[in-house]
Amino acid sequence: MASDDNVIVKEVNDYFRLYKSGRVERFYDVHGSFYVPPSPENPSAGAFSKDITISPHVSARLYLPENTTAGQKLPVLVYYHGGGLCIESAFFTWTHRYVNSLASELNVVAVSVNYRLAPEVDVPIIYEDCWTALQWIASHADENSNSNNNNNNDSWLTNFCDFSKVFLVGDSAGGNIVYHMTMRAGKETLNNNNEVKIIGSICAYPYFLIGDVDIDEEGLAYKIWVNICPTLEFGLLSPIDSPLINPLCEKAPSLSGLGCSRLLLCMGKKDYVIPIEIGGRFVEEVKKSGWDGDLQFVEIDEGHSFQIYKSESEKAKRMMKCYDAFINR
């Protein structure tokens, strides 16, 4: 009889394999993704970086531009990494290099959130982890944060951040998370502090599946989702009827509740993972919802999350300038 540790329950090629024992195998080598250490003492590519534990299940890598001076207050950029909600880490190659560049080129204090992954945890738990990180970040806006009972406050956030200028950014699955965090921020205050404001949210190639856009059931996005989605929680007939993945479904909240002042949606014309039509439908519904913020929709003649892997390309540099105009205008 085969050991439970060798019996495969679920598998998505090149992403993960779940065994009956509960063990999960992830194929990071396929993606060229591996752990890289932070640079807390000597800046790398224009920024210092360090790791911090937020809660037993949530951690983050923080970035501070190397030319930051005492008393300077910078916007806060909270980054949620991609990976289909099932792979990657804030501490791995591609995410580290990219967020390091965001901090140095946009002149922001960046917090790259490391959350738990499916299939070990259900997707709603991932959102809770990400909200926990956002609440922790917001707690530093309290003038008395250094003297309160929270022993894991961070001096970079306390000393160098302007909490009236908070921006959420995410690619792919991270774009999905940014959407959910922004919706929740429309209903709840951050750390009970009305002074903390999400000025802008950037959803790049967000991991959405929308029912009235043709979905390739053999495609990567669908295959991952059907292997991690909590269908029983919503009593769904179809996995893409879930408000977790479909912001336009019947059970999803009104987009008028978006809790930011500005929203930037970036989609790729050559994206084989998330069709550009999904971005178009999302934009249409945001406009119809009555949300009174500033909406920008950028179409890029490239593939999925290309700027992370082709950061030196001219199109990636133009995308960085677009982010700069959005954040530092």
Give the catalytic positions in this structure. 172, 271, 304
Hey, what are 328's tokens? 């530092």
Residue 319's alpha-carbon distances to 32, 136, 224, 303, 315, in angstroms, are 23, 29, 27, 13, 6
Question: Of 176, 209, 146, 179, which Cα lies nearest the Cα of 305?
Answer: 176
């804030």: which residue's tokens?
Answer: 90
Any idea what the Cα angle at residue 248 is, between residues 246 and 253, rounded to 5°?
A: 100
The DSSP symbol for 97 reads H
Q: Are strands 109-114 and 74-80 parallel, antiparallel or unpaired?
A: parallel
Contact criterion met (CB below 8 Å) for 287 and 295: yes
- Give the span between the Cα atoms of 264 and 305, in whole angstroms: 15
Residue 90's alpha-carbon distances to 61, 99, 240, 307, in angstroms, are 7, 9, 27, 16
Write down the H helix ranges in the chain: 28-31, 93-106, 123-139, 155-160, 173-185, 220-228, 231-234, 276-289, 306-309, 314-327
- Give the span between the Cα atoms of 139 and 190, in whole angstroms: 8
Q: Are strands 8-12 and 16-19 parallel, antiparallel or unpaired?
A: antiparallel
Question: Of 98, 79, 88, 78, which Cα lies nearest the Cα of 118?
Answer: 88
